[in-house]
Structure 1
Amino acid sequence: MIIAAFLLDLLLGDPYHWPHPIKLIGNFIAWFQEAFTQGKTEAQKYRWGVVLWLVTVLGTGVVTYTLLLLTFWLHPWIGTICYVYLAYTTLATKSLALEGRKVYQMLKFDSVTNARKQVAMIVGRDTEELTEEEITKATVETIAENTSDGVVAPLLCLFLGGPVLAMMYKALNTLDSMVGYVTPKYQAIGWFSAKMDDLWNFIPARLTWLFLLGAAKVLGLNSQNAWQVGRKDCRNHKSPNSGFPEAIVAGALGIQLGGTHQYHGIEIYKPTIGVALRSAQQEDILRTNRLLYVAGALSLVSFSIISFIVQHYIL
């Protein structure tokens, strides 16, 4: 069922008009902030941030488990379809690659102005004044980081705990993407979500490091430089996890990522990752997409083999 979900994601991506659990989770987070955090003191917002995380993540797990229980009770085939669909919605391989390609197409065939608007759809930083190279780097960084958040981590959760654990992971990941910013607006309400996201992504980020390194080798990119940069700069990031996939991609492409950027009008310092053997080019977005696909396939094969061994020779 997990393999079917992975293939479904590669085939369909995330059509905008389809119902999607992550959209419901995002709507709930926005409603909760509006309903319970307006007018609160900073100290109160810290406490409400914990409540927001618990209600969102645990509530997502309970709803997912109940839905699976009900559908399997109705009929095994209905339960199977529900399982595969929920698992499919936790994966984001094609949609991530598609969003990256949209930025590439804007840079290649349209204008930098429209490319700024397009990249603003997938990054948290301010994009109004980004140069063409900065737009390219921002897109590459997002695809690299989300190879872990959008593919490897949910796949790992699916193999460990099915859609229930994977949906809980997506809930906490959505929380981090919506409120986990070190800015005056989100510092208090989002601190707990950001810390928990760091904790849950600790292992997936390091597995992604390995899968991306393997992907660089498979694709004939600069795997030696990826290894060197991946070891040296994997912790050159404010996040304890994001630097791991970004360092491998920077090394494989031979470009430098990271650096200081503005988020919600606030300048946030970030160390650089990698050595600039050349300037970033538009085609680096497509190369990063290929790394994403191959790393995702490697993770699926690896987790499947491990799962088979555990089920047939250990349990």
Structure 2
Amino acid sequence: MLFYSLQETVAMTLAALVLDWLIGDPAWKRLPHPVVLIGRWITLLEKRLLPAPGGPRTEARTKLRGVGLTAATLVVAFGAMAAVLWVAQALHPWLGYAVNIWFISSTVAVKGLKEAAMLVYRPLAEGHLEDARKYVGYIVGRDTTKLDEAEITRATVETVAENIVDAVVSPLCYALLGAAPLAMLYRAANTLDSMVGYKNDKYIDFGWASARFDDVLNWLPARLTGALLVLTAALTPGAKAVPAARSIRRFARLHPSPNSGIPESAVAGALGIELGGVNVYHGRISERARMGWPLREREREDIRRTIRMMYGVSYWIAGGLLLCVLFDWP
């Protein structure tokens, strides 16, 4: 452990999760969010490292530069967070606790995901389809201008389900292993993947290292998320645990990501709906693997059901952490 005992880290990770439930990403923030700063750093390095179109650009050379981008971003994110935490601890131990809790909470986004999804749900419930299309366009990369209610629901459910790993379970796992510095390193890796980890002409080589490293970091948390989603489905109205487990076994491997298919297939199976299908990106049609069994039509209430499942996963984690704190384990 870098700065704290394991018991202290468990307690502070629990506090950070509760803080995210209560506050999330505050609208009154005066300083840029850490993820925004990481994004600016990535953009700066990309301009310097990504070979210009039409210039000398071999696969090996471009991949090597992408490795440099990944390594530099992870080192800076971890080092800067470690330095901030070290200074806070040096000033006062309780300041160190507060800083650690706050920065861990900034890597988690339970409340933020709920708010983003509800921003889509509310206009759907009010019959304002154009507004729902606009807001779902904020959280997905596909074209949303012609989506009907069922497709808007699918896009929102897929986004929330996938991000149960990226924005809930993974950052909490790495916070437990290495406090705020390791949680921030994970968030940097995830931001790299979201910015340059695409399999298109521009990024397929340059973003290769970022995408692969994000896959590695999410491998175990994704499988933990699958198990927690099955447990959550057993206690969530409108969801079923056995189909969730069967859906993971049947469909998760069909997803192009080794990790994202697990939460998406679990949610699809639990709710008795089908996820995946045809997406349009900048006029190009893309067929995504279909997950789950279409036992019924998708409906806007599936958004709220998925939000409840996301919260259920976070409650399982919080309960485990609370037991560790109460019984002073390990």
Would the TM-score normalized by the shorter structure come out above 0.5? Answer: yes
CA shift for structure 1 position 26: 1.0
Deviation digits for residues 64-83 of structure 1 (CA, Å, limit 9, x no counterpart): 11111111001112111111
Q: How many pairs were matched up?
A: 312
CA contact (8 A) 1:222 1:252 kept: yes
| CA shift in 2, pair 1:156/1:137, >3 Å | same
Task: Give the residue type in structure 2 aligned to 1:246.
Answer: E
**1:236–1:163: structure 2 CA closer, same or farther, 3 Å change rule?**
same
Find the counterpart in structure 2 of residue 281 from structure 1: 299
For residues 155 and 14 of structure 1, do their structure 2 counterparts lie closer, same or farther at Cα, with a shift above 3 Å needed? same
Cα 1:188–1:16 shift into 2, 3 Å: farther
Verify: 1:198 aligned to 2:215, yes or no. yes
Say if 1:187 and 1:263 are closer, same or farther in 2 by CA, change over 3 A: farther
Within-5 A mapping of 1:166-315 = 166-220=183-237, 221-303=239-321, 305=323, 312=329
Name the TM-score, length of structure 1 as normaliser. 0.93
Identity over the aligned pairs, expressed in percent? 40
Shift of 1:10: 0.4
Q: Structure 2 unaligned runs (5+)? A: 1-11
Partner of 2:5: none
Compute the displacement of 1:218 (Å).
Answer: 1.2
Alignment-derived partner of residue 38 in structure 2: 25
1:234 is paired with a residue whose SS is helix
**Paired residue type of 1:121:** Y
- What TM-score do you get using the length of structure 2 for normalisation? 0.89
1:201–1:307 Cα change, 3 Å: farther
Aligned residue in 2 for 1:5: 16
Please state whether the residue corresponding to 2:249 is helix, strand or coil.
helix
1:198-225 CA-partner distances (Å, limit 9, x unpaired)? 1111100000001111111111422222
Query: Which 4+ stretches in 1 moved above 4 angstroms?
Result: 303-309
1:183, CA displacement in angstroms?
Answer: 1.4
5+ residue gaps, structure 1: none
Separation (CA, whole Å) in 2 of partners of 1:123 and 1:206: 23
Q: Alignment RMSD, CA only?
A: 1.9
1:109 CA drift (Å): 1.8
Pairwise CA distance, 1:297: 1.1
More helix by share: 1
Q: Which runs of structure 2 are paired with 1:38-49 in the superposition (5 Å)?
A: 39=52, 41-43=57-59, 44-49=61-66
AA aligned to 1:210 is A
Structure 2 residue 14 is matched with structure 1 residue 14: no
Letter in 2 for 1:9: D
Q: Which residue of structure 2 aligns with residue 58 of structure 1?
A: 75
The residue type equivalent to 2:240 in the other structure is N
Displacement of 1:307 after TM fit?
8.0
